[in-house]
Structure 1
Amino acid sequence: MTTPRPAASRRSRSRANGDGTVYQRKDSRWEAAGYVLAPGNTRKRVRVYGTTRKDALVKLTEKIAASNRGLPVAAADSTVGAYLTYWLDGVAVHHLRENTHTRYAACIRLHLIPGLGAKKVARLTARDVRTFLDQLRTTCQCCAQEQDANQRRCCAIGQCCDKRLSPLTVTYVHSVLKSALEHAVREDELPRNVARNVKTAAPRPRRFRPLTAAEARQFLQTASGDRLHALYELALRTGLRKGEILGLHWEDLDLDAGTAGIHRSLQRTRTGGLTTMHTKTRASERRIALPTECVHSLKNHREHQQQERQVARTAWSDSRLVFTTPTGGPLDPANLTHRFGRLLNRAGLRRIRFHDLRHSTATLLLEQGVDLVVIKELLGHAHIGVTAGVYAHVRLRLQRQAIDTLNDVLSPTDDGTDDPPATAAVR
C-alpha cells in the first residue's frame, strides 16, 4: 500500500499564482510553463525545458522576471525583429560591454531588422540567411537605408554611389545573428541555429604598417619633449592598449620592482561618459615587467604631475590616474588620438593609428627573435593563436631570412674549402 505524501511536502512544492507550472515529461526532461509579456503588449504562455526541475524552473523564472520588468519575451513563433529586440535588451545587455552593446544595437537596427525582421524565427532557414548576407554585400547602403531620399543624391538622382558594406562588416552582422539564435537554441526554443549552417568567406585581415626600428627611435626622440612622453614610451615599449594605459592608477605601478599591474581600462561610453571598467578579457588582466626607460620616464612624470597639482590647487581632481589632464582629470581617448596625430606630424612620420604602436611593439620583438609565448603574455592575448595570426606576416619574413641564411651556408665557397663539421646536435 502506497503511503500518501505529507501535506507539508505537497505544499512545499506548490507554486504561487502566476509563477507557472513545472512537471516532468515522459522523456524524463522537465518542462516549465507560464504566462509572460509578448510583443504587441499581449500575454502569452511559453514553455521552457531542462534536464532537471531546477534548470527548467530557473529558465522560467528568468523569463517571468524579464516580463515583469516590461521586456517582451519572444518565442520561436515571434518574428526575427521581435526576437532580436528581446535578446538585445533582455539577454545580451547583461553580459556585453556598453560600447559592444551599442554596436550590436546599430547592427540590428540598420541591417538585421530591415533584412530579416518580418520573418518568423521558427521558419527562418539557412537559405534566408545566405540570401540576406548576399544582398548586404551587393546592395548600396546609401540607398537601402534611404540616406539619399532627403538630400537628393545617389539613387534619388539616378547616380548610385555604390556604397557597400566591407566584408568585415558583413561578417560582423552574421556573428550578431548567430549569437542571438544560439541563445534561442540554448533555451530550447529552436532545434538548431540555422545561421551557423551559413559559411561566410573569411575577411582579409586589416593591414597595418607598424613603425620600423628607425621610425620608432625617431618617434621617441620627438616625444621626449612632450608632456605625455611617459605615455608614448609606455605604449611603444610594452604594447599596452590605449584604454589600459589611460586606466592605469599609481597603485598599479611598482617602480622599485619595475612592474605594472593591468587591471582596468578607461573607455568613453554613451551613457556614462569616461568610465573605468575591467580589461578587455580575463587574459588581459596581467602583470608586466617595465623597461628601465619606462621606469625613469614614469618617475619624471610623477614629479611633473606633483607640480601641476600645486599649480591647480583646489581645481585639482584627485583621480589617482597616472596620465591625466593638467587639472588631474582623466584623459579622453579621442583627445589622445588627436595629440598623437600632431606628434607624428612633428616627427615627420606617416600617419598611423595609436593602436599601431602596439603592433609595432610586437613586430619589433618578433624580429629580434623573442618567443611568441612571451609576446602573447605581454600583449594580454587570450590565445597564442591570436598572436600568431595577427603577426603572420612577420613570421613569414623571418622564415625568408632563415632560408636565405641557410642558402648562404649551402652555397659553394670560392676557395673550395669545406667548413669545419658541426659539433652541436640540432634539437
Structure 2
Amino acid sequence: MKGYFRKRGDKWSFTIDLGRDANNKRKQKTQSGFKTKKEAQHACNKLINELMKGEYVEPSQKTVEEILLEFMTTHGKHAFRQKTYETHMYIIQKHIIPSLGHVKVPKLTPAMVQGFYLQKLQDENYSAEYVRTMHAVLRKAFNKAVKWQYINKSIIELVDPPRLEAKEIRTWTLEDATTFLEYVKGKRFYIVFLLAIYTGMRQGEILGLRWKDCHLKDGNISVTQTLSRTAKGLIFQEPKTRGSKRLISIPKHVTEELKQHKKEQNEQKILLGPAYEDYNLVACIETGKPIDARNLIRYYKRMIKESGVPDIRFHDLRHTHATIMLQLGEHPKVVSERLGHSKTNVTLDIYSHVVPDMQKSAADKFEQAMRSVNNNNIV
C-alpha cells in the first residue's frame, strides 16, 4: 500500500490506492489541505498504518444535528434521568443546533467549537458554567459517535471548555441557623428547614423522603429517592449518583421533632379521611401530595425576610451544614459521606474556605499538646 502526493495551489494532498472492488473498479482514498508535503506524508503514513491494522473508520457524512439527535434518541432517552434528558435536549435544540447543527461531522473543527463557546460567553453573556454544560453534551455525543464508529476520534477532546471562576459560598453562622429555626418552628415547612440544616440533604432529597426511610429508633435516615420537577410534572426517582444513596445519622433533637411531625400528620390524615393522598412522605402539603419546590422557595424567602437572617439560597443550607461541621472539627470524610459526595477531595474543594481555620485550629492543638508534655517534664 503506497501513497501518491500532489501539490494543488499552495496545498498538498495524497492518494492511496486501495486495489479494486467487487466490480473491478479501482478504489482510492484521497485527503487534501496540508500546508507542506511533510504534513501530507505524515498523515498518509498514519492512514496506511490504520488501514493495515483494520483500525480505520470512514468518517460519517452525518451532520452535527443528526449525530446529536441520534445520540439522544438511541442512548439518552434510556440512559439519562428525565430532568437530565430534558436539559440536554433544550441545550441541543436551543444552542448547539442553530450554531453547529448544519456542519457535517468530518468538517467540524476544534476552532469552530471554540468559537461557538466564545460566542455564547461574550456575545450572549451565558455563564462559564452553562457553556461547560454545552461542552459536556457535545463530549458525550461525540464519544458515543466514536464507539458507534461514525468517527475515528472526537474533536471535542481537543476543545477547551471555559474555566470556572471560584464561587463564593454564602452560609449562615450557628447563630443565624438557630435564629431562623426558632422563628419558623411551628410554621409551614418547618420540618424541611430543620432537615436541611441538620443533615445537609439536598432539597429534592428532603421533598422525596418517606417515613419508611426514617429509622427513628436507630437515629438515622436513608436517602433512597428524590423529588424532581420535569416537563411531565413532579416525579420521584433514584438519587443522581450511587454516592447520593446514603445513610445519615440524626441527633436526638431531630428524631423528637420528626416524631412530633408524624403525630401531627396522622391527625391531619384522620381529619381529611379519603381526601388525604398518602405518598408516605415526611414533607408534604396538607392533602398529602408532594411539595412543589417553587412554593417552598417562595415561602423560604419570606421567612428569611421576616426572621432577619442573611439572605442565602436554599441550597446554601446544605453548605451551612457542611461548613459548621468542619468548623467544629468533624473529619472531612464524615462530612463527605453525609453530603453524598463521591470523594472526600470534592468536599475539600468546595469548602476550601474552611480549611485555613482548620489548619489554625490544628496548629494550636499541636502547640498545646507539646506545651503540656514540656510542663509535665519540668514538674
How far the C-alpha of 1:403 sits from its partner, in A, is 5.8
Amino acid at match of 1:117: G
The structure richer in helix per residue is 2
Q: Displacement, 1:421? A: 5.1
* Alignment partner, residue 79 of structure 2: 95
Q: Deviations over 1:80-103 (max 9, x none)?
A: 112112112222111111111111
Match of 2:353 in 1: 393
AA at the equivalent of 2:81: R
The aligned residue for residue 222 of structure 2 is: 261
Q: Which residue of 1 aligns with 2:321?
A: 361
Query: Please, which of 105, 113, 132 is the counterpart of residue 129 of structure 1?
Result: 113
What is the TM-score normalised by the length of structure 1?
Answer: 0.70
Match of 1:324 in 2: 284
Which position in structure 2 is the counterpart of 1:299?
A: 259
Superposed displacement of residue 202, structure 1: 2.2
Q: Is 1:173 the equivalent of 2:134?
A: yes
- Equivalent residue for 1:343, pick from 303, 313, 316: 303
Distance 1:194 1:218, change over 3 A: same
1:24-423 alignment to 2 at 5 Å?
76-139=60-123, 163-271=124-232, 273-400=233-360, 422=374
- The answer on whether the counterparts of 1:288 and 1:378 sit within 8 Å (CA) in structure 2 is yes
Native 8 Å contact 1:229 1:297 kept in 2 = no
Structure 1 Cα separation of the partners of residues 255 and 201 of structure 2: 15
Shift of 1:244: 0.9
Q: Distance in 1 between matches of 2:250 and 2:367?
A: 39
Read off the aligned partner of 1:263 and give its amino acid letter.
T
Letter in 2 for 1:187: W
- Separation of aligned partners in 2, 1:103 and 1:206: 23
**Which stretch of the first structure deviates more once superposed, 350-359 or 201-210?**
201-210
Task: Tell me by how many angstroms 1:401 deviates.
Answer: 5.2
Measured in 1, the distance between the counterparts of 2:245 and 2:315 equals 18
Q: Deviations over 1:26-72 (max 9, x none)?
A: xxxxxxxxxxxxxxxxxxxxxxxxxxxxxxxxxxxxxxxxxxxxxxx
Separation in structure 2 between the aligned mates of residue 297 and residue 408 of structure 1, nearest angstrom: 39
Q: How much has 1:137 moved relative to structure 2?
A: 2.0
How many Å apart are 1:407 and its aligned residue?
9.3
Contact 1:344 1:351 in 2 (8 A): yes
The one-letter amino acid of 1:111's match is H
Distance in 1 between residues matched to 2:337 and 2:164, nearest whole Å = 26
Mapped to 2, the partners of 1:216 and 1:269 lie a distance apart of 31
Distance, in Å, in 1 between the alignment partners of 2:340 and 2:177 is 22
Task: Measure how far apart 1:136 and its partner are.
Answer: 2.1
Query: Alpha-carbon deviation of 1:206?
Result: 3.1
| CA pair 274-91 structure 1, distance change in 2 beyond 3 A | same
Distance 1:165 1:190 in 2: 30
Written as runs of structure 1 = structure 2, the 5 A alignment for 1:9-24 is: none
Question: 1:368 and 1:111 mapped to 2: Cα distance?
Answer: 45
Q: Please give the TM-score of this superposition, normalised by the length of structure 2.
A: 0.79
- Structure 2: segments with no counterpart, 5+ residues: 1-58
Q: Secondary structure at the match of 1:221?
A: helix
Letter in 1 for 2:73: D
> Residues of 2 paired with 1:114 and 1:399: CA distance?
50
| Structure 1: unaligned runs, 5 residues or longer | 1-74, 140-162, 411-418
Residue 5 of structure 1 corresponds to which residue in structure 2? Answer: none
1:423–1:78 distance in 2 versus 1, CA, 3 Å: farther
Which amino acid counterpart does residue 299 of structure 1 have in structure 2?
K
2:213, 2:223 within 8 Å by CA — same for their partners in 1? yes
- Distance across 1 between alignment mates of 2:254 and 2:373: 45
User: Structure 2: how far apart are the matches of 1:229 and 1:170?
Assistant: 37
Over 3 Å counting, the alpha-carbon distance change for 1:420 and 1:340 in structure 2 is closer
Task: Report the residue type matching 2:273 in the other structure.
Answer: R
Report the Cα offset of residue 228 of structure 1. Answer: 2.7
Counterpart residue identity of residue 327, structure 1: T
Q: Give the Cα–Cα distance (whole angstroms) in 2 for the partners of residues 132 and 404 of structure 1.
A: 51
> RMSD of the TM alignment (CA)?
2.2
Q: Which has the higher contact order (CA 8 A, sep 6+)?
A: 2
Contact 1:239-1:378 at 8 Å conserved across structures: yes
Deviations 1:352-391 (A, max 9, x none): 1111110000000010110010011111111222211111
Q: In structure 1, the residue corresponding to 2:299 is in which secondary structure? A: helix
1:122 match: secondary structure: helix
What is the Cα deviation at residue 420 of structure 1?
A: 6.5
Distance of aligned partners of 1:256 and 1:420 in 2 relative to their CA distance in 1, 3 Å threshold: closer
Secondary structure in 2 aligned to 1:91?
A: helix
